[in-house]
Structure 1
Amino acid sequence: MNVRQHLHSKPLEEKSNTVMDTQCPFCSVQCKMQVIEVQEKGRKTYQAIPLDNPASQGRLCIKGMNAHQHAVHPDRILYPMRKVDGEFVRISWSEAIRLIKEMFTRIQQEDGLDALGVYGGATVTNETAYLLGKFARVALKTKHIDYNGRYCMSAAATAGNKAFGIDRGLTNQLSEIPFSKCMILAGTNIAECQPTLMPYFTQAKENRSFIIAIDPRETATTKIADLHLKIKPGMDAALVNGLLKVIFEEGYVDQTFIADRTKGFEALQEHISTIELEHIAEITGISVKQIQTAARAYGKAETGMIFTARGVEQQTDGYMAVRNFINLSLVTGKIGKIGSGYGAITGQGNGQGAREHGHKADQLPGYRSIENPEHRAYVAKVWGIDEQDLPGKGVSAYEMLEKVYQQEITGLFVISSNPVVSSPNANLVEEGLKKLKFLVVADMFVSETARMADLILPASSYLENEGTLTNLEGRVTYRPGNRECPGEVKHDWQILCEVAIALGKETYFSFSSAEEIFHELRIASRGGIADYYGITYDRIKQEGGVYWPCPSQDHPGAGRLFETSFAHPDGKAEIVAVDNHVPKEQMNDQFPLYLTTGRVMTHYLTGVQTRRSHTLLARDVESYLEIHPKTAKKYRIEDASLVKVESRRGSIIVRSKVTEDIREDTVFVPMHWGDLQNVNKITNQALDPNCKMPGFKVCAVKVNPLVGTVSI
């Protein structure tokens, strides 16, 4: 009996069903599904059914199957709440909007236009991301807007723009993965973070693809690899130099591709001539033999793909590390054809789309630059404002939070993000938020950040909020919002419009639907790098999603990029020499271990949503510390015991998990918990100088059993 038959196996008068078409709100695959609400004898139950789609081909992971649990959770915020004497009290929407107008106006009169900041998230729809950028610059007239995607995709995005002239998660379609004869999975745990993609890699292995995994830990992803390079944290760029050394010396370079389609090769060639494999082996922890095996497998393969993710990118040299992996694709000519390309595995649900339409400090819609006079003039014309009234470039997400701490920003509007948990050096972030004159948070739940707010606004869930999102391969998808908003909940875009109207900007924010916003987004992106002009709601619905760039409605959308040229004006990709980078924070006698962070399958981001799913929480109730048995013995740590982990910035308490799956010099803590288990209380706030990505993946720590240690 299938699910539909089961749901209708009892008399209809005993039950009523509500079917909601939607897509998973979590990772960047954006799997399609139906959520069926069954009301029977006064009790509601829910069933998630996967729907066929081009990306995940009808698969759902455990997070998607249980996503509805947070959407219907009794902890949902259902009405605006103002903090009075340390407690939240219910107020009306009119009171909330009036309070925002009063406080925002006062702050800008006292401290200047740029004293207001807007901090967004990469799980919002394209429509909300677009509107956030417009809201900050037109309604508030502030330059200070950025988002948590800065912590996720900025290294790969900057590298893609510089190397290729365009940043899109994958340069190929997912369906091409099985045709790749060699794949490098660098710093990515796809099996846990994007599990519905794993069948593509299984198919590739069946086609005799050779898979190389680069990770300090053994994971469910490294277990499918033919070769696991258990690298010392932060040494990815150096490892690639070693791979390039072998490729150059053994003749796996595609000279024709290099001559016709790239520039900068000579400088890289000269740099690699100075590299010694023995030195690379010493600093990376990877043997010369393994480096040679990996380089030969990739170099000899007819087709090859390279995938990077946060393990490579969340470094203080994340940008240059990604550039070096791109170098590997370019010098071997493995890009722009079926089964060959580069891909950054996007983490957040709309990590791709959210960074394309003005949600970042340096961007305007269509991936235009806010510092380019032509780009500014075009967007200003679309918005109906004077170009001189368009603010300039702001600062990155963490730098914005530093300005909060320094009291240069005194009012902050946070939407769909939880910076108290997601930011490095989180203690400083928390102290900074306490200094604000006014903090507004729009969210579904009282997160760790919302707890600190002066005003909380109830936002809609994925089941309620219609809009578009862009998945990791650049496919723009449509998500219906069939469920009625509970209580007094409103959509993010509605909240922004109401605040803007209260501030006297009704002319620019008179939208009545998400589709209206998308239509303006199409026009604002027209002619930009991320050109959505040819994409409409009707097209997306009919075609199951449309790839960007798509400059006209008769354009099919670009599934595979760079078949004949790259996106730079001269059509050539840029190769660059990359130094052997050493992480800024090194181990010493006081802090003798490296800490790295990451995700687990059952949770998402800071856990605000997934920790409210009883099914998911039951699998991972608390955070933990992975530590090698020899290391655990050295520091007197027993399995499943409480451990204090301390860095130069603070300390946390987590439970130990003794395992041989991790390097002896490294410990691992997942990122999904707050308060005493918030790993970002101890991570390093040092930023990549090119993209402002924090160095989440490497910092020096010490560990001790909690018994006998000083309380924190």
Structure 2
Amino acid sequence: MQRDKFLKEIENLNHPNETLVPTHCSYCAMQCGMNLRVNTSTNKIIGVEPRYDWPVTLGKMCPKGVTAYQQTNHEDRLLKPLIRDDASLKGTKEGFREATWDEAYDLIVKRFKELQQNYGKDSLSVYGGVSMTNEKCYLTGKFARVALQTRYIDYNGRFCMASAAGGINRSLGVDRGSTLPWTDIHETDCLFLAGSNTAECHPTSMFRIWAVQERGGYLIIADPRETPIARRADVHLDLRPGTDLALANGILHLLIENGHVDEEFVKNHTNGFEETKQVVKEFTPEYTSQITGVAPEKIIRAAELYGKAPNAIVLFARGIEQQVKGVDNVSAYINMALVTGNIGRPKAGVGTITGQGNGQGGREHGQKADALPGYRKIANPQHVKEIAEVWGIKPEEMPEAGVSAYEMFGLMEQKTIRSLYLLCSNPVVSAPNSNYVRKMLKQLDFMVCVDFFLSESAEYADVVLPTTTWAEDEGTTTNVEGRVIKINRAQKPLGESKPDWQIQVELAERLGRGKYFSHLKTSKDIFDELRRASKGGNADYYGVTWEKIEKQNGVFWPCKSEDDPGTPHMFLDKKFYHPDGKAKIFALPYTPPAEEPDEEYPLRLTTGRVVYHYLSGNQTRRIQFLKDMSPEPFVEVHPDTAQKYNISHEEKVRLFTRRGEVIYKVKITEAIRKDTVFVPYHWDFERAANILTNPALDPISRMPEFKACAAEIEKIEVKKVQ
């Protein structure tokens, strides 16, 4: 059946009623280039082809990318607004009825106004996401602060990119996720990859990573698991989850001791080296090994390879970032680059491997609780004045900073927040301690969800508004490198669905705030306003235009004027974004994870992705091929640990932490530490890994500690039939 379907699609490749629409994938921040195949007579997307002109991935696509188009015309698509008439059924698929847009809008406006009249402006909240375009992310921030006039807005990047943003900004003065273009990676001499299962999470990067070794360079991997990329590494630093800071300090100790410091660079372009030198003095290979569990000789070898490399790149991802010291971890790895002078030139630098499609742009233009467009800060009166002028409001009308995504649930518990406008996110699955999150959503007075599928979180809503998929709208995203690119519309919106930005403009009108939004008729109108709003900010997009994006195949920010081609390599002038122009080397004493193993919970639980699914799985679990290839979650257990618990491969066990328990099938593998278990997090409700994870927050980024908590396994005894 699948073969026949494939052959039929091949026959249609040159069909006269078919056109190709160049665009980019909807999933991770590789934003792989693709051409969507559209039947012009039916206005339906029918397939996909890779784009070989896209310089980042050169025609490469992963299993998610080649099936992404199938979500647009999927049978589960929401085609009309839904209203729940029975509040007792919140948290289920039941109790909804179809409604008109007018009826849905009227109800939303009525309830929003009632709640704000009774409990104040800040009784409303907005929870966004960064799989949306820059235009939508920008408008969501404006919608919260100008249309709803609430301080409470945050986004799901808080669970993904916040620690990277905090660490990079703190060390370098500006948060652009990568200081160099991805096309430099295969030309470096040493690639140090920390906390990234790249082969599964960003597989279209792998051809560049393998090329490092093929050219005679070296690959170093820091990961508790022997992932596919770790198996090919020259050094695999198999550390205990949550001990990355000690490992980075140990590497830095050896770089200093063995004379790999770029003295001139450190003296002229950094601050903080002497203090840091004193802190890392105790992190000998032996001491570092005691904390991390990594053999001393591996630590020594990794430092030697990195330190001697003419050019070296450090990349990191969620493994080091989703911790209570995620910001410190990021700064600690950046310390390695700063001390050796591996930054501010081609083939050398640092970067975070962004998880969500617009994880970079989505955090730059106003969705974060404390941020305004262009990476301005609400705490800065001048920044507020600049954005208020663009928006046409008085500076004193700008709401104060709110709180982070997880902290919003605490305010729901306190009844400070009584309503939620949720879009492009599924916190019931993606937030830590998810049983608590479900309870908070259920007790809300009123909840609106904007989505194209009825997600697990949408089941808690009172009104669900049908939005479009990425292929039914146009706009820009900013990929893993900081390159602004263009998403093109391939199909008209299905059913009565509308783009998120259009919904917000129409709601603003009904809320009596239309004069601030009515001029925004198209995505391009919004982007042009975003350009003006970002002008002069750290994330300056003013010189980026849709026309320039098409001409250059993307534009790297900062891009400050229309004749500016953009900035592929950051800091070539060795001027960092701190007031004195210098980068900061941070002295970072080691602290353990918020929750260490003990007698009751002797194991370490860590979580992550598999190649066939994306984030909460709301999209990918509906695609039959992806579901067939990875139908259910599992818990990885080392053979020695399995023997200790008397459990076998594919046997079901109870995995539990202080927050809850989940039953999983066991996957026995030598690719994991004996003291650690791993669970992928893409599944719903009773199978959700985040039932177990720890909501302890990084003090700076407010990122939860998804990657390390104490756990225990319990064998499920099967009763014998008499």
> What TM-score comes out, normalization by structure 2 length?
0.95
Uncovered stretches (5+) of structure 2, i.e. residues with no partner: 1-5, 90-94
**Aligned residue number for residue 132 of structure 1:** 140
Matches for 1:609-648 after TM superposition, within 5 Å = 609-648=619-658
Cα distance between partner residues in 1 of 2:257 and 2:607: 35
- Percent identity, please: 46
Cα distance between partner residues in 1 of 2:567 and 2:231: 33
Cα distance between partner residues in 1 of 2:701 and 2:45: 45
Q: Alignment partner for residue 282 of structure 1, among 271, 275, 290?
A: 290
Q: Alignment partner for residue 216 of structure 1, among 224, 234, 244?
A: 224
**Deviations 1:503-524 (CA, angstroms, capped at 9, x unpaired):** 0111111111000000000000
Cα distance between partner residues in 1 of 2:9 and 2:357: 32
**Deviations 1:637-658 (CA, angstroms, capped at 9, x unpaired):** 2111212111000111111101
Q: Alignment partner for residue 580 of structure 1, among 590, 607, 610?
A: 590
* Structure 1 residues 700 and 420: alpha-carbon distance in aligned structure 2, compared to 1, 3 A threshold: same
Matched, 1:412 2:445: no
* Structure 1 residues 334 and 80: alpha-carbon distance in aligned structure 2, compared to 1, 3 A threshold: same
Matches for 1:428-439 after TM superposition, within 5 Å = 428-439=436-447
Q: Alignment partner for residue 541 of structure 1, among 546, 550, 557?
A: 550
Bigger shift: residues 488-497 or 80-89: 80-89
Bigger shift: residues 365-374 or 19-28: 19-28
Cα distance between partner residues in 1 of 2:462 and 2:151: 23
**Quick one: which amino acid aligns to residue 529 of structure 1?**
N
Aligned residues of 1:186 and 1:214 also touching (Cα < 8 A): yes
Uncovered stretches (5+) of structure 1, i.e. residues with no partner: none
Aligned residues of 1:69 and 1:614 also touching (Cα < 8 A): no
Tell me how far 1:38 sits from its aligned partner: 5.0
Q: Alignment partner for residue 373 of structure 2, among 344, 365, 374?
A: 365
Aligned residues of 1:407 and 1:435 also touching (Cα < 8 A): no
**Aligned residue number for residue 453 of structure 1:** 461
**Deviations 1:58-98 (CA, angstroms, capped at 9, x unpaired):** 21111110001122110000000001123110000001111
**Deviations 1:606-643 (CA, angstroms, capped at 9, x unpaired):** 00000111111110000110010111111122111212
Tell me how far 1:35 sits from its aligned partner: 1.9
Tell me how far 1:402 sits from its aligned partner: 1.6
Tell me how far 1:160 sits from its aligned partner: 0.9
**Aligned residue number for residue 701 of structure 1:** 711
Aligned residues of 1:405 and 1:433 also touching (Cα < 8 A): no
**Aligned residue number for residue 50 of structure 2:** 50
Matched, 1:676 2:677: no
Q: Alignment partner for residue 359 of structure 2, among 346, 351, 369?
A: 351
Q: Alignment partner for residue 335 of structure 1, among 343, 347, 358?
A: 343
**Deviations 1:367-389 (CA, angstroms, capped at 9, x unpaired):** 00111010000000010100000
Cα distance between partner residues in 2 of 1:357 and 1:609: 25
Aligned residues of 2:128 and 2:140 also touching (Cα < 8 A): yes
**Superposed CA RMSD:** 1.8
Tell me how far 1:539 sits from its aligned partner: 1.0
Matched, 1:560 2:561: no
Cα distance between partner residues in 2 of 1:274 and 1:196: 39
Q: Alignment partner for residue 173 of structure 1, among 149, 168, 181?
A: 181
Cα distance between partner residues in 2 of 1:25 and 1:155: 23
Cα distance between partner residues in 1 of 2:477 and 2:677: 35
Aligned residues of 2:45 and 2:490 also touching (Cα < 8 A): no
Matched, 1:120 2:128: yes
* Structure 1 residues 23 and 274: alpha-carbon distance in aligned structure 2, compared to 1, 3 A threshold: same
Tell me how far 1:579 sits from its aligned partner: 1.0
Tell me how far 1:11 sits from its aligned partner: 8.0
Aligned residues of 2:128 and 2:425 also touching (Cα < 8 A): yes
**Aligned residue number for residue 661 of structure 1:** 671
Cα distance between partner residues in 2 of 1:544 and 1:274: 48
Cα distance between partner residues in 1 of 2:7 and 2:364: 39
Tell me how far 1:578 sits from its aligned partner: 0.9
Bigger shift: residues 560-569 or 380-389: 560-569
Aligned residues of 1:406 and 1:432 also touching (Cα < 8 A): no
* Structure 1 residues 118 and 45: alpha-carbon distance in aligned structure 2, compared to 1, 3 A threshold: closer
Aligned residues of 2:36 and 2:490 also touching (Cα < 8 A): no
**Deviations 1:491-542 (CA, angstroms, capped at 9, x unpaired):** 0000111111110111111111000000000000000000000011111112
**Deviations 1:634-686 (CA, angstroms, capped at 9, x unpaired):** 11221112121110001111111010000000000001001111010110000
**Aligned residue number for residue 514 of structure 1:** 523
**Aligned residue number for residue 534 of structure 2:** 525
Matches for 1:252-271 after TM superposition, within 5 Å = 252-271=260-279
Bigger shift: residues 58-67 or 378-387: 58-67
- Residue 703 of structure 1 aligns to a residue whose secondary structure is strand
Aligned residues of 1:418 and 1:449 also touching (Cα < 8 A): yes
* Structure 1 residues 8 and 217: alpha-carbon distance in aligned structure 2, compared to 1, 3 A threshold: closer
Cα distance between partner residues in 2 of 1:651 and 1:202: 39
- Residue 67 of structure 1 aligns to a residue whose secondary structure is helix
Cα distance between partner residues in 1 of 2:249 and 2:676: 23
**Deviations 1:312-371 (CA, angstroms, capped at 9, x unpaired):** 000010000111101010001111111110001100000000000001001000000111
Cα distance between partner residues in 2 of 1:143 and 1:699: 32
Cα distance between partner residues in 1 of 2:302 and 2:550: 43
**Aligned residue number for residue 79 of structure 1:** 80
Tell me how far 1:122 sits from its aligned partner: 0.9
Tell me how far 1:3 sits from its aligned partner: 10
Matches for 1:130-209 after TM superposition, within 5 Å = 130-209=138-217
- Residue 331 of structure 2 aligns to a residue whose secondary structure is helix
- Residue 669 of structure 1 aligns to a residue whose secondary structure is strand
Matched, 1:63 2:54: no
* Structure 1 residues 389 and 643: alpha-carbon distance in aligned structure 2, compared to 1, 3 A threshold: same
Tell me how far 1:252 sits from its aligned partner: 0.7
**Deviations 1:100-119 (CA, angstroms, capped at 9, x unpaired):** 10011111111111111100
- Residue 651 of structure 1 aligns to a residue whose secondary structure is strand
Aligned residues of 2:185 and 2:209 also touching (Cα < 8 A): yes
Tell me how far 1:44 sits from its aligned partner: 7.7
- Residue 228 of structure 1 aligns to a residue whose secondary structure is strand
**Quick one: which amino acid aligns to residue 455 of structure 2?**
S
- Residue 338 of structure 1 aligns to a residue whose secondary structure is coil
Aligned residues of 1:402 and 1:429 also touching (Cα < 8 A): no
- Residue 694 of structure 2 aligns to a residue whose secondary structure is coil
**Aligned residue number for residue 92 of structure 2:** none
Tell me how far 1:7 sits from its aligned partner: 3.9
- Residue 463 of structure 1 aligns to a residue whose secondary structure is helix
Tell me how far 1:223 sits from its aligned partner: 2.2
Tell me how far 1:706 sits from its aligned partner: 3.1
> What TM-score comes out, normalization by structure 1 length?
0.97
Tell me how far 1:224 sits from its aligned partner: 2.5
- Residue 341 of structure 2 aligns to a residue whose secondary structure is coil
Tell me how far 1:17 sits from its aligned partner: 2.5
Q: Alignment partner for residue 385 of structure 1, among 368, 393, 400?
A: 393
Matched, 1:444 2:445: no
Tell me how far 1:22 sits from its aligned partner: 2.3
- Residue 302 of structure 2 aligns to a residue whose secondary structure is helix
* Structure 1 residues 43 and 135: alpha-carbon distance in aligned structure 2, compared to 1, 3 A threshold: closer
- Residue 685 of structure 1 aligns to a residue whose secondary structure is strand
**Deviations 1:225-281 (CA, angstroms, capped at 9, x unpaired):** 111111000000001111111111111111100001001111011212233332211
